[in-house]
């Protein structure tokens, strides 16, 4: 997330006008104005009246109606429009309200402040600062809370306590309002099965050169926050989600979605996407189930090599690897696979119940990367090469002990998660799995509710995770969480611990040497 300064309120509003055009169409795929002002301009109370229009489907306030592929917009008399005098860099107290419902209306109201002929003023609805967080995926809620719209006007007359204004364009006339966000209808589909994804949560981001171009919030006139927007649905009835998405530029960005239905996590990513504020889009998104993705390493840095080593005397069968997800080749333990270009991938699958001996500190199998790599996908592909998508049971102890031990080049992919779906665990199954992985900032989801001996012991010790995973287990075991977050420098809040019956050493040194606790 990034917080930035918008140097000119006018540039934000005019950019929205230029990008929107004159219609909220269906789609599938400045110079400063500077005048010398008195040091303390006189403050008066005025009655301001201005004609305003949506320009057909140009933008929307609280009344949004979908007619086929056209999103119609109208004023409501309960709307409150804020007024900002850009020329004098000051907000006017009070607001304007439509005198009738409809696409066109007369806005009028009482304002207090300083106004002069030829001043450029901005009108915005709602009258509060813009905040796009907390959406629930419905068009009705967008209409009520998130359909921010602005217009630019020029003061044409100040007659006593009466202000007249018209659109700031050369042609004048009614002030044309345009919305400051795109409205997008997402239909989510499982790419492999064609089934609808009734997501409980959808996270949306649009990045350019690695930085988000989505606006999460605006504090008028000149502060905005960039970052992904998450939509939560408590009781999803279908796979259709509406979103209000404000873009801070017209760049071709990488569009990324992550959805969950409470059981599975789905991802989608597409480069070269352009969406414009003031437009309505309908998008069918075919998403990949993360559980259907085998354990994958992807080069963030060109020339990265991935190596899988096992221990002396190991009886673990060598896995297979693939660089395209279709053709699989027998892997020779200890062979470095070089990913020549950024974005190149290597996937692994195997059929071993465990990759470590039940005893012996170094009797483990471990992945290493010599340059930065993303890791994601389902770790169960190492347990069952053909049925990992549905595999949730670990049967042998120390299954993934030290699997990524002290791999400092291991990174979270921006949208594709590491998946640890096992709900039936084994003794020491994740022991020190990510210990010392300082580049790992987000922990995978841990769904198991019944623990086994040492199952999470030292799992994230000295790792870089910033947010602890939820720990829903209510049945504990000896040393199950021992040293789990030992010396994690980036964590600031412990997870909830719902268990009411404890076991020997179950929480021993769980948060020891945690500097931010």
Burial class (CB in 10 A: 0-12, 13-18, 19+), 473: buried
Report pLDDT digits (tens) over 139-185.
Answer: 989 988 898 888 999 999 999 899 999 999 999 999 998 888 999 99
Q: Which residue has the higher pLDDT, 416 or 475?
A: 475
* Contact (CB, 8 A) for 390 and 319: no
Mean pLDDT over all residues of the chain? Answer: 86
Instruction: Pick the more confident residue, 114 or 69.
Output: 114
Closest CA to 432 of 448, 397, 396, 456: 456
Residue 381: strand, helix, or coil: helix
| pLDDT the model gives residue 70 | 62
Asked if 485 contacts 461 with a C-beta cutoff of 8 angstroms, the reply is yes
What span, in angstroms and rounded, lies between the C-alpha atoms of 115 and 347? 65
Report the candidate in 58, 80, 93 with the shortest Cα–Cα distance to residue 125.
80
Residue 507: pLDDT over 80 = yes
Q: What are the tokens at 233?
A: 């649905």
Contact 200, 232 (CB under 8 A): yes
Structure token pair of residue 127: 């009258």
Q: What DSSP line would sit under 268-306, residue for residue? A: EEEEEE---TT-EEEEEEEEEEGGGSBEEEEESSTTEEE
Residue 122 pLDDT > 70: yes
pLDDT of residue 143: 83
pLDDT at 31 over 50: no
Please tell me the predicted confidence (pLDDT) of residue 57: 40
> Cα(54)–Cα(429) distance, rounded to whole angstroms?
60
Residue 7: which pLDDT band, with cuts at 50, 70 and 90? very low
Q: What CA–CA distances, in Å, run from 515 to 115, 173, 298, 462?
A: 54, 62, 32, 12
The predicted structure's pLDDT at residue 64: 54
Tell me what pLDDT residue 490 has: 92
pLDDT greater at residue 132 or residue 40 = 132
Q: Please check the confidence at residue 136 and state whether its pLDDT lies above 60.
A: yes
User: How many CB atoms sit inside 10 A of residue 391's CB?
Assistant: 17
Alpha-carbon distance of 256 to 204, in angstroms, equals 6
Instruction: Tell me what pLDDT residue 361 has.
Output: 80
Statement: residue 30 has pLDDT above 80:
no
Q: How far is CA 198 from CA 81, 186, 239, 487, in A?
A: 36, 11, 4, 39
- With b for 16 or more beta-carbon neighbours within 10 A and e for fewer, the 196-217 pattern comes to ebbbbbbbbbbbeeeebbbbbb
Tens digit of each residue's pLDDT (9 = 90 or more) over 32-77: 323 333 344 567 899 999 998 864 343 333 345 555 556 666 788 8
Residue with tokens 């629930």: 136
Helix segments in 223-360, DSSP class H: none
> What pLDDT sits at residue 277?
87
pLDDT of residue 4: 38
Q: pTM of this prediction? A: 0.69
């Amino acid at each position: 997330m990034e917080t930035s300064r918008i140097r000119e309120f006018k540039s934000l509003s005019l950019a929205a006008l230029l990008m929107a055009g004159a219609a909220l169409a269906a789609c599938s795929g400045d110079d400063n104005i500077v005048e010398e002002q008195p040091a303390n301009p006189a403050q008066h109370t005025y009655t301001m009246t201005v004609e305003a229009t949506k320009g057909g489907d140009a933008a929307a306030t609280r009344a949004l109606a979908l007619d086929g592929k056209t999103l119609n917009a109208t004023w409501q008399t309960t709307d409150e429009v804020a007024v900002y005098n850009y020329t004098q860099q000051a907000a006017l107290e009070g607001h304007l309200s439509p005198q009738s419902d409809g696409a066109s209306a007369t806005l009028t109201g009482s304002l207090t402040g300083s106004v002069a002929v030829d001043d450029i003023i901005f009108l915005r609805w709602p009258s509060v600062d813009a905040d796009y967080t907390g959406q629930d995926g419905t068009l009705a809620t967008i209409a009520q809370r998130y359909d921010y719209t602005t217009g630019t006007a020029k003061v044409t007359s100040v007659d006593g306590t009466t202000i007249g204004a018209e659109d700031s364009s050369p042609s004048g006339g009614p002030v044309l309002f345009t919305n400051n966000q795109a409205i997008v209808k997402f239909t989510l589909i499982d790419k492999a099965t064609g089934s609808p994804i009734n997501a409980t949560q959808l996270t949306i981001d649009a990045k350019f050169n690695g930085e988000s171009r989505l606006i999460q919030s605006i504090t008028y006139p000149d502060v905005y926050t960039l970052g992904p927007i998450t939509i939560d649905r408590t009781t999803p009835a279908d796979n259709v989600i509406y979103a209000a998405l404000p873009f801070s530029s017209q760049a071709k960005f990488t569009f990324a979605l992550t959805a969950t239905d409470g059981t599975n996590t789905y991802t989608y990513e597409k480069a070269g996407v352009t969406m414009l504020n003031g437009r309505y889009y309908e998008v069918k998104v075919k998403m990949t189930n993360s559980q259907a993705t085998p354990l994958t390493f992807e080069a963030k840095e060109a020339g990265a090599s991935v190596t899988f080593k096992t221990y002396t005397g190991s009886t673990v069968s060598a896995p297979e690897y693939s660089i395209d997800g279709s053709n699989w080749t027998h892997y020779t333990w200890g062979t470095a696979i070089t990913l020549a270009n950024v974005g190149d991938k290597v996937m692994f699958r195997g059929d071993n119940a465990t990759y470590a001996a039940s005893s012996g500190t170094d009797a483990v199998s471990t992945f290493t990367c010599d340059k930065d790599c993303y890791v994601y996908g389902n770790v169960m592909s190492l347990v069952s090469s053909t049925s990992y998508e549905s595999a949730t049971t670990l049967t042998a102890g120390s299954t993934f002990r030290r699997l990524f031990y002290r791999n400092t080049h291991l990174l979270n992919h921006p949208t594709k998660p590491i998946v640890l779906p096992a709900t039936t665990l084994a003794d020491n199954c994740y022991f020190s799995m990510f210990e010392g992985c300082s580049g790992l900032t987000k922990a995978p989801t841990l769904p198991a509710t019944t623990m086994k001996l040492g199952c999470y012991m030292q799992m994230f010790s000295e790792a870089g995770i910033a947010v602890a995973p939820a720990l829903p287990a209510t049945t504990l075991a000896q040393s199950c969480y021992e040293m789990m977050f030992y010396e994690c420098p980036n964590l600031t809040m412990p997870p909830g611990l719902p268990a009411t019956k404890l076991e020997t050493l179950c929480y021993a040194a769980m948060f020891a040497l945690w500097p931010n606790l």
